[in-house]
Amino acid sequence: MTTGSHPGLRERAAAALTAARARTAALTDAVSDRDLTAQHSPLMSPLVWDLAHIGNQEELWLLGRVAGRESLRPEINPLYDAFEHPRSERPKLPLLGPAEARRYAAEVRGRVFDLLEHTALEGSELLDDGFAFGMIAQHEQQHDETMLITHQLRRGEAVLTAPEPAAPYEAPSAAEVLVPGGPFTMGTSAEPWSLDNERPAHTRETAPFWIDTLPVSNEAYQAFIADGGYHEPRWWAAPGWAQIREHGIEAPLFWRREGSQWLRRRFGVTEPVPGDEPVLHVSWYEADAYARWAGRRLPTEAEWEKAARHDPATGRSRRYPWGDADPGPVHANLGQRHLRPARVGSYPAGASPLGVRQLIGDVWEWTASDFLPYPGFRAFPYREYSEVFFGPEHKVLRGGSFAVDPVACRGTFRNWDLPVRRQIFSGFRTARDV
């Protein structure tokens, strides 16, 4: 890592923390106290738990681990330990109320800004490059995405608003792109705020493969439904087939058929399913079944990252598909600027060197890979971020969604979830062997 003398590092950390808190406020101020304390799905925490948990993690890591201070409210620490209490049980806990949770988070933040102003951002692994502050900004943004998922699961009229995507658009010249075989650099050892599962950089070898230029669209997915895809067991992995039979699943989550038309519910609004958007709210099993039906497969995690980062002309791996510059509005649909994906074919300026589009933003993309450590992995700064989730139970998602902030989205960023999960902002693209 570089040292804390990097110009603008303190300002960058402050800006990331401020942006995260503004988004948290927008997500929690939009609903009543009753909605904040309600559990809208057993899959999710009450919004008020996330609100206080954000402040508690910030206190434990920045005021506690970095500054060595005593806990402001030690009695609440167990309540907001994500590993101590499953989400389904959190409404029964003696949680801080909405007003008290806001005061607590605000008090912690005020002390953190004072700490940031007077602390040298170097001299330890937690402080080098402002890592601990960047980690906390990413943590808050990840919970903001979780709270946005809760808003999607919430019943009732719409409370969130955002402009429609008006992204640059250009029809691709081909439906798929050939990615040459050979070695490439996967992961990172240089990105200062990268998390442990992204590290270290290492060489991976792939055979040549074809990958979709664009994410799979709603229109394409509707063809799978119309062809009886949800009623044909040969397309499905056995656990996925059991899942859709048990729960009567016949379409992506939040879809319903009305006559000959598919409708969806999106943040309190019911609307026709737009055929030209990436399909959203599908499980890994659904993505895998579609790929089999189409005579294709899901890309591996290594194939996805190679398609996204590898530049055959130079042999190096970029930070992002378009280069090393931070994401801007011309590159990708990120940061909850919109409350939906942009249409497939958008953001030509965000294409990879080989011309693969929309790899960053819009929808998380399921890959074929289990969530496993890279060679040389070392848990930092705590095992519970990544290490306890490694194994075949979790599948890797890559690329981020419209709900992901740029601070928590990189070409190396890895997400993971159970293959049954559909409430997340997940889609996919397919690949095939040469």
Name the pLDDT band for 114 (thresholds 50, 70, 90): very high
pLDDT confidence of residue 413: 98
Other beta carbons within 10 angstroms of residue 174's beta carbon come to 9
Name the pLDDT band for 85 (thresholds 50, 70, 90): very high
pLDDT confidence of residue 7: 61
Q: Is residue 190 pLDDT above 90, yes or no?
A: yes
As a whole number, mean pLDDT of residues 188-194 equals 97
pLDDT confidence of residue 86: 92
pTM: 0.96
Q: Is residue 107 pLDDT above 60, yes or no?
A: yes
Q: Give the 3-state secondary structure of residue 390.
A: coil
As a whole number, mean pLDDT of residues 173-187 equals 97
Q: How far apart are the first and last CA of the chain?
A: 39
Name the pLDDT band for 139 (thresholds 50, 70, 90): very high
As a whole number, mean pLDDT of residues 242-256 equals 98
**How many angstroms from the chain centroid is the CA of residue 327?**
15
Sign of CA dihedral 129, 66, 201, 297: negative
Tell me what percent of the residues of the chain surpass a pLDDT of 70.
98
Q: For 342-359, how does the pLDDT look when each residue is reduced to its tens digit (9 = 90+)?
A: 999 999 999 999 999 999
The dihedral over CA atoms of 99, 335, 151, 169, expressed in degrees to the nearest 10, equals: 160
Q: Is residue 2 pLDDT above 50, yes or no?
A: no
Mean pLDDT estimate for the chain: 96
pLDDT confidence of residue 6: 59
pLDDT confidence of residue 5: 47
Q: Is residue 1 pLDDT above 80, yes or no?
A: no
Name the pLDDT band for 223 (thresholds 50, 70, 90): very high
Q: Which residues of 117-150 are buried (b: 16+ CB within 10 A; e: fewer)?
A: eebebbeeebbbbbbbbbbbbbbbbbbbbbbbbb
Q: How far apart (Å, rounded) are the C-alpha atoms in residues 14 and 12? A: 5
